[in-house]
């Protein structure tokens, strides 16, 4: 048990994740920490935006100088370098967060496998409804997911600046007849439980990547950056290992080294 969350609090959050396909931890990150991250992140993101004038199917560049792409019009993805102020132990080693995963998975055998970001700028439109990973077993909605996105926006998110939209409970949907047609049905049909995650800065939330979701139009005058740390069970394969310098690896705590054990030290 951590001294930050009681067992009852953790059980409730785990139930939220299992039932809704996401769980929200409001006020987990101090606003000042988010502001420092945003101040350092904005120039990196702007550099990418100026460079990536075309929509591109694959990411380009290097993590240090901006590995990413324009995914849809005015919507940019960008990897986040593992260095201060982005690599913040108060976030990725937060005792409440780690206790949450240990409770959900019943194990501490998990690692951080990716650090990236989703950034709709003014003028971005609806994404198609989608999942971020396929079901591991065709036709079966497994009760436990081995891989999660840990997300935190760098600004308050709202309907105007393109807050994230989810269809709660859809993480277990395993009907091959619907696969590939989610956007068609969700755009046309009646789905009253769709939900916009309008979040205060400092909120961290956990997304089951199987849950149907989409980005929404940003009609504000500012970007809506959100950083994403991926936490995965040790057996879950990831394509590109996270990279960090020897100096950054040297700064890690004992738990940090376990969490970053699958990274490439360069
Ligand atoms: O952050 C968002 O608004 C949506 C991002 C997303 O779902 C994606 O790019 O897969």
CA 152/CA 159 separation, integer angstroms: 17
CATH topology of domain 7-136+195-265: Jelly Rolls (2.60.120)
**In the chain, where are the structural domains located?**
7-136+195-265
pLDDT of residue 2: 45
Please state the three-class secondary structure of the chain as a single string: CCCCCCHHHHHHHHHHHHHHCEEEECCCCCHHHHHHHHHHHHHHHHHHHHHCCCECCCCECCCCCCCEEEEECCEEEEECCCCCCCCCHHHHCCHHHHHHHHHHHCCCCEEEEEEEEEEECCCCCCCCCECCCCCCECCECCCCCCEEEEEEECCCCCCCCCCEEECCCHHHCCCCCCCCCHHHHHHHCCCCCCEEECCCCCCEEEECCCCCEECCCCCCCCCCCEEEEEEEECCCCCCCCCEECHHHHHCCCHHHHHHCCCCEEC
Ligand 1 geometric centre to CA of 118 (Å): 6
For ligand 1, atom 5, name the residue with the nearest CA. 215
pLDDT of residue 129: 98
Ligand 1 geometric centre to CA of 163 (Å): 9
pLDDT of residue 3: 57
Q: What is the mean pLDDT of each run of 10 residues along the chain (266 residues)?
A: 75 98 97 98 97 96 93 98 97 97 97 98 98 89 96 98 98 92 97 98 98 98 98 93 95 98 95
- The pocket around ligand 1, CB under 6 angstroms, is made up of 118, 120, 127, 132, 162, 164, 213, 215, 226
Ligand 1, residue 132: give the atom nearest the CA: 10
Ligand 1 geometric centre to CA of 8 (Å): 31
Q: Kindly report the pTM of this predicted structure.
A: 0.96
Ligand 1, residue 120: give the atom nearest the CA: 3
pLDDT of residue 4: 66
Residue for token pair 């600004």 = 155
Ligand 1 geometric centre to CA of 246 (Å): 31
């Amino acid at each position: 048990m951590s001294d930050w969350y009681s067992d009852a609090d953790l059980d409730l959050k785990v139930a939220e994740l299992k039932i809704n396909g996401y769980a929200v931890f409001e006020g987990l990150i101090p606003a000042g920490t988010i502001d420092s991250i945003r101040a350092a992140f904005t120039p990196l993101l702007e550099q990418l935006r100026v460079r990536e004038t075309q929509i591109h199917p694959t990411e380009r560049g290097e993590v240090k100088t901006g590995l990413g792409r324009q995914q849809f019009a005015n919507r940019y993805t960008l990897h986040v370098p593992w260095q201060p102020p982005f690599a913040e132990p108060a976030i990725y080693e937060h005792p409440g967060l780690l206790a949450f995963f240990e409770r959900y998975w019943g194990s501490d055998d998990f690692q951080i496998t990716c650090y990236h970001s989703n950034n709709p700028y003014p003028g971005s439109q609806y994404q198609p409804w989608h999942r971020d990973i396929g079901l591991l077993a065709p036709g079966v909605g497994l009760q436990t997911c081995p891989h999660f996105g840990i997300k935190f926006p760098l600004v308050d998110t709202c309907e105007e600046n393109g807050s994230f939209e989810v269809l709660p409970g859809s993480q277990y949907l395993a009907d091959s007849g619907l696969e590939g047609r989610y956007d068609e049905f969700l755009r046309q049909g009646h789905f009253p439980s769709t939900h916009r995650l309008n979040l205060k800065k400092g909120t961290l939330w956990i997304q089951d990547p199987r849950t149907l979701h989409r980005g929404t139009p940003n009609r504000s005058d500012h970007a809506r950056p959100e950083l994403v740390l991926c936490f995965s069970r040790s057996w879950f394969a990831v394509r590109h290992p996270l990279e960090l310098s020897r100096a950054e690896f040297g700064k890690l705590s004992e738990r940090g080294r376990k969490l970053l054990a699958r990274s490439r030290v360069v």
